[in-house]
A and B are shown apart, each in its own frame.
Chain A
């Protein structure tokens, strides 16, 4: 029998995020079918037909690590030699060394259902084949006889653990049993619970459409079914656009707002369409909009709750994607009128004594900042000098540069983002034939880039659209319902034919996992800010491991342990903050060292890299510490240990390999290795802008015509053959971003080869030129490194370079 194993399982073990099975093939009942039982974590898809040629022996254990009040999943895969006519899973309680129990009722078991990708998605696809998506509850699969497996095929069992809020931290172990016809297989199971409780709050806003008319394809488009779908999405920390009621009726709408306000992160305000005779175009009924806002304000006063702070306006049937739809004029007109109407409402409230108190002021403020979101990137035309669109919802790929990210962050108003049949990988997607992890990392990006909400065009597009709408069975039809991308437009499945409610998908689980991490990130930001610290320093070190400019890194897609390591570090940050009131207040990575700032509650014993440390300052109830780690070992790290009242926690931050100075640019001799254009000037200058004593290279580039400013570094670079990278600190004193590209001039090729491209923001940037994997056989040796800054026709500029450091 050809055994099928998951080749990265050893890496998954290191990540501590996998389910794996111990003592497999425990042939208790004897039987003739040999079943390979193996495991994978919840960040990958295992297709039904998947061969692995070069695999490691799988030693599967069901293993998850998670916080309290969180869901985490992983998979057991069955690959039998012969057909299995019935399989099932028996769960067991898990217990910790301290005698605590994690009950089996906290686990949910699902049968993975597969869809056949026969047409690859446009833009990017992980290939043809049978992809798992719908997760049918195991008891339903058994009832309908779908718990079967064909010989040689993979059948995934998805197991989700929910950790109760009151569960004690620790590692819980036990046994699950997989029954395959007449054979039982016992699986060791392990769940590690971090000493951290995830909040119930959902601060990430969302507008994931549930098109009630497409529910018809399931044979049920009742309001009841719509509500079940809405509630399902809420279980996954998502909000449908419309509340699950007849929103056209204000009384029903207000009742639903009251019912859902505490549960949902966001909800839309209903609107009516009215013809605008002067514009000779369709428009919104602004009177009705006013009435609805006032109605929301009134119940806010009655219930002493600002219901308006979660509300938004999305005129999807009037001005969706206006640039593409050719409705720019309409979008400008309506957006401007909405702002005028908001101001009229706010002014009216200000003159009404009912709004005189603190809550009234909050409501008025909410009205003025009430977002009317428009699915479009910023354009001058739509903005119309401030009399047009104000609240942008660009596509994910509009955040593909620091400049664009900063543009939206500095806009001063709320903005969302979205994806819709594009963009494709390496941007995040909810596509079926894409790496599952991108749908999870999307929420980390959302936090990083400050997008308040995420919009998705449909979650139940159970129709095949080829110009006409054709009803299909989404469990069996081609997964490309709308031309372009497989899986796009639907994230759950109808449960009607099984007599159950809506059925979630693997993608929905992945989205929830990301949104749970979003809340941990958000809590850290808020807690840090409350103490006057900025969490961005430490969080950026996690973000940059996963993606750059909204593009998920290849290593994250190819190796689950990369994400697992970043997540584990996030958990640890959460634990030390929530349990010990500790903060990583500063992370400054320099050439050969890294400096950390730490704050912890007084009374907490602090050790860093095994040493007891003393505070250097105080901040209220916190002691503040500073610690510098020399990057002089083959593997360097920052390890923070906290202890108080018998409780302890550890936070570890990997700092990579050795950093060795290659050229410190301190002397004329150092400087002599650099050349530039004949009108440029290279000197040694004070290195204070880097925060150091000593000198740095100052490059004064003259204005250019048809050429780019260039700095050439020429010396023997043979030592690069054993290094991972060459880093240099660059300081940009101007207020503008400057593109920087680096090339190597080699003896093996006549042309320069690009090795780096990035942007120098104002201030200091560490530029790292990668040499790990460099083709020395082809290029033989590097004779010069050439830096080109800016564009071809530019005014004069100055840059500073310091500390060329070998890393690794």
Chain B
């Protein structure tokens, strides 16, 4: 099995470089071959064609080829970076985007990738920090993995390693659809500060010879998600309808017990303000794998789906709880959480079945599944709300998602 895996991978990787490196000749960096460690040299930054595989976000700044050997790790060139961001002191941090699929479509399959690593030189007089994350695709959007922070010592090369945590990432992300690798840099107030310089080289993808672990969902009786287990930090993701991405919720694991209704952890949902009321719809959603593992069918008779929510803002807003039951439809229920207190939200699973009944069948024919048996997703959704500043943003804490027997 191991040998077959490597052979298959080599066949894929020996495909000629496409897209940005498609100038007829193979690039000199042998990016199409794994080395003895199973590493693919995705970019050695030796030719301008490679730069067509890159892009920048939030007005990245400048990225060009460098041929000063003082800033080259291997080969004759490296990538010189001058990240600025838009340039105001309050501007967002700029990021460089590396897209392996632009080099070869096959490279987006990260199910066998252990890690991504690269060398970066901090050519500034002080230590600097960067953050790295992945963007994986879903059916409708791309989701970001947790950003990890790295410190770059001044005047030195640092090897950055970002592990592909397949076991946890598999909960939510599609490991076969890696869209972007992002490297975030500090924003520079360009009118007041000197530009900052970095050099990037040896961008590698490390493949595993053995199969990598995938999602492992362990649930207690009646448990859906308490946020107390380690894997539950990765169990939710954001999404939305309409032009929501500018107002996307920020999800994080809260470890302050004040904001936990049970245990010491909960889900913090930061809701940025938007511009126009209900012009877009923002949601957070649970991993579909969790929903499947929770097995709503088991609890559909005599149980309710219950959770607690704390509104840490000064206004109440309507939040819709959705149960996606495939072709049967969606069960939606609105709730309001009063400011400054915990609110319990309860849905009788029998109500879901009643509201989404199966189609009638002839006598003797097999009964179609109930709605609860078809539930494949759960989300909390709210409409974009206008505001003038971050003071208008809202924060909610969600905790202790569970099944409770009806009284």
Contact = CB atoms under 8 A, between A and B. Distances in A.
* A and B bind: yes
Interface of A: 212-213, 216-217, 219-223, 225, 245-246, 248-249, 252, 273-275, 277, 280-282, 471-473, 496-497
A373 B132 CA distance: 43
Nearest to A217: B55
Given A222-B82, A275-B276, A275-B386, A216 B191 contact: no
A282 B275 contact: yes
A702 to B, nearest CB: 60
Contact of A222 (B62, B191, B277, B387): B62
B84 A220 contact: no
A216 B84 contact: no
A116 to B, nearest CB: 15
Contacts of A223: 84, 87, 190
A223 B190 CA distance: 8
Contact of A221 (B48, B51, B61, B276): B61
B64 A220 contact: yes
A280 B62 contact: no
A168 B299 CA distance: 97
Nearest to B191: A252
A273 B51 CA distance: 35
Interface in B57-98: 59-65, 82, 84, 86-88
Given A219-B62, A221-B61, A497-B64, 5 more contacts: A219-B51, A221-B60, A222-B84, A223-B190, A472-B52
B54 interface: yes
Residue among A221, A252, A282 having the largest count of chain B Cβ atoms under 10 Å: A221
Contacts of B59: 212-213, 216, 221-222
18 contacts: A213-B59, A216-B59, A216-B60, A220-B64, A221-B59, A222-B82, A223-B190, A225-B62, A246-B86, A246-B87, A246-B191, A249-B88, A281-B276, A471-B52, A471-B55, A473-B52, A497-B48, A497-B64
Contact of B64 (A217, A273, A471, A496): A496
Contacts of A246: 86-88, 190-191
Interface in B23-75: 48, 51-52, 54-56, 59-65
Nearest 6 interchain pairs by C-beta: A275-B386, A220-B62, A497-B48, A219-B63, A223-B87, A216-B56
B230 to A, nearest CB: 37
B388 interface: yes
B277 A280 contact: yes
Nearest to A213: B59
Contact of B56 (A221, A248, A281): A221
A280 B276 contact: yes
Contacts of A245: 191
Interface string B159-173: 000000000000000
Q: Is the interface of A mostly helix, strand, loop or mixed?
A: mixed
Contact of A219 (B64, B276, B386): B64
A596 B257 CA distance: 95
B276 A282 contact: yes
A221 B54 CA distance: 13
B298 to A, nearest CB: 42
A221 B55 CA distance: 11
Contacts of A282: 275-276
Contacts of A220: 61-64
Contacts of B56: 216, 219, 221
Nearest to B57: A216
B61 A248 contact: no
Nearest to A220: B62
Interface string B300-338: 000000000000000000000000000000000000000
A801 B242 CA distance: 65
B108 to A, nearest CB: 16
Nearest to B102: A471
A221 B65 CA distance: 15
A221 to B, nearest CB: 5
Contacts of A273: 275
A273 B275 CA distance: 8
Given A221-B61, A277-B386, A248 B276 contact: no
Contact of B388 (A213, A274, A471): A274
A216 B60 CA distance: 8
Contacts of B54: 219
A216 B85 CA distance: 11
Nearest to B20: A471
Nearest to B88: A246
Name which of A246, A252, A281 has the most chain B CB atoms within 10 A of its CB.
Answer: A246
A143 to B, nearest CB: 14
Contacts of B61: 220-222
A496 to B, nearest CB: 6
B387 to A, nearest CB: 8
Nearest to A281: B276
A568 to B, nearest CB: 45
Q: Output the residue of A222, A223, A249, A277 with the most chain B CB within 10 A.
A: A222
Contacts of A213: 59
A220 B56 CA distance: 9
A252 B191 CA distance: 8
A222 B195 CA distance: 10
Nearest to A497: B48
B275 A275 contact: yes
Interface string B251-279: 00000000000000000000000011100
Contacts of A219: 51, 54, 56, 62-64
Nearest to B65: A497
A282 B280 CA distance: 13
Contacts of A280: 276-277
Contacts of B60: 216, 221
A473 B52 CA distance: 7
B391 to A, nearest CB: 15
A486 B54 CA distance: 25
A277 B82 CA distance: 41
A248 B64 contact: no
Contacts of B51: 219, 497
A280 B384 CA distance: 12
B305 to A, nearest CB: 35
Contacts of B191: 245-246, 249, 252
A270 to B, nearest CB: 12
A113 to B, nearest CB: 15
Contacts of B386: 275, 277
A275 B388 CA distance: 8
Contacts of A216: 55-56, 59-60
A46 to B, nearest CB: 27
Contacts of A496: 64
Contacts of A249: 88, 191
A217 B88 CA distance: 21
Interface in B202-229: none
Contacts of B64: 219-220, 496-497
Contacts of B63: 219-220
B43 to A, nearest CB: 13
B313 to A, nearest CB: 18
A682 B88 CA distance: 77
A669 to B, nearest CB: 78
A458 B386 CA distance: 30
Nearest to A215: B59
A245 B86 CA distance: 10
Contacts of B388: 274
A282 B388 CA distance: 12
Contacts of A225: 62
A248 B52 contact: no
Contacts of B55: 216-217, 471
B88 A248 contact: yes
B185 to A, nearest CB: 13
A509 to B, nearest CB: 26
A327 B61 CA distance: 34
B138 to A, nearest CB: 16
Interface string B90-124: 00000000000000000000000000000000000
A281 B63 CA distance: 39
